[in-house]
Amino acid sequence: MEVIKKYGLLGANIAYSFSPNLHNRMFQLNGIDGFYSLIDIPREEFSLDVLTEYVRSFSGFNVTIPYKEAILGFLDEVDERARKIGAVNTVVSEDGKWIGYNTDYDGFMFLFNQLDLREKRNATILGAGGAAKMVYQALMDLGFDDISVVSRSRNCDETYFKKARCINYTSLELNRKPVDLLVNCTPLGMGSHIETMPVSRELLLHHDAVIDLIYNPPETMLMREASKIGIKVLGGLDMLIVQALEAESLWTGHSMNTEKNRLMLMGMFR
């Protein structure tokens, strides 16, 4: 009898997550004997010992807010791209070692390519955490040479965001200028912030496209307002699915048919 392998999502206050339903459906569709659950550890309890106890029998796990950067200190190995980004969202347990990867990058690239932007000059990233670092690296790789990183305190890691301007939201709203792409990497628009936008509607008027990494709800207030204005808008659901397929490929060694699986899985959220 084949043993069902365990996987999960590490984070704090993550009851909202679609990931268990998504991954368990993926396992079913692809004939994989696996089970996926939440690993919800409060910030004040997060430590190597606590995490080890939770995932002792796991073959791998994903990582979300607020541990994408903190997990780096617990890993035995980190692949080159994840190390460059400075954040990990996928961990493979292999021969007693934890190996970290960043499949969010793959998901974001898939999402970005759907925009078909004519210009790739300047961009604004809202947030300065692990997701923002991934987006910054992706935009640099795509050829954006004018990037602003926005945080509430202007306390972003300038040693990482070396070629970006680190500003606060007051500066962003005061210095409005035409921008090709706005990317929301904050939780504003989900959970208790569901009726909140990270920026004003007036600021959106100066943008050609918006990507909101939030996937629950599938359409945030930011996305709705941007759509009303008539600019290109994408949410994080496709990114969630594609990064999950890449993670499963790392865990299981199965080559996933991204487009076939994506289309089937999108039906879960309609």
| Model pLDDT for residues 74-115, shown as the tens digit of each residue | 999 999 999 999 999 999 999 999 999 999 999 999 999 999
Query: Which among 68, 84, 97, 163 is annotated as catalytic?
Result: 68
pLDDT for res 155: 66
181-217 residue pLDDT tens: 999 999 999 888 899 999 999 999 999 999 999 998 8
User: Do 257 and 223 share a domain, yes or no?
Assistant: no
Which CATH number goes with the domain that contains 216?
A: 3.40.50.720
Helix, strand, coil abundance in the chain, percent, nearest 5? 40, 25, 35
177 carries an active-site annotation: no
- Owning domain of residue 57: 5-102+240-269
Helix axes of 258-266 and 237-252: crossing angle, nearest 10 degrees: 130
Closest CA to 185 of 173, 174, 168, 198: 198
pTM: 0.91
Q: What is the CATH number of the domain that holds 36?
A: 3.40.50.10860
| DSSP structural state of residue 164 | E
For residue 217, say if its preceding peptide bond is cis, omega within 30 degrees of 0. Answer: yes
Q: Does residue 231 sit in the same domain as residue 123? A: yes
